Amino acid sequence: MALSHARSGDLVNINDAVDALASNTSATLVRDEHIEIFRLVLSAGTDMQEHSAAGAMTVQCLRGEVDFSCHDRTQTLLPGALIYLNNAAPHALHCRQDATLLVTLFLNRK
């Protein structure tokens, strides 16, 4: 069954983190022409090698603890922390404790 994305005006519960962690389920919540919002669920010990996105982005920690590397430094994201990256900024991460992140991409699609 295909996952349906929220439409304009839909209410989205981003705090389904307990169920998401139990099933290790990441999900795209919103996908539109110039924005994508997804919940990223990571298990402790997970590493994401350096990569970049096709646009600016924010990453908000909802649960857990993640070391987030960008702009030649590493910062720890804890619940309530948010980081902004400009267009296509390279970044990497290491999940220290089971975590749920809310990622918002501002896409440069023509």
CA distances in angstroms from 38 to 74, 82, 89, 96, 105, listed in the order given: 22, 14, 18, 20, 9
Cα separation, 38 vs 107, whole angstroms: 13
Q: Quote the pLDDT of residue 42.
A: 93
Mean pLDDT by 10 residues, the chain (110 residues): 66 63 73 91 95 94 96 97 95 96 87
pTM for the whole structure = 0.85
Q: Quote the pLDDT of residue 25.
A: 74
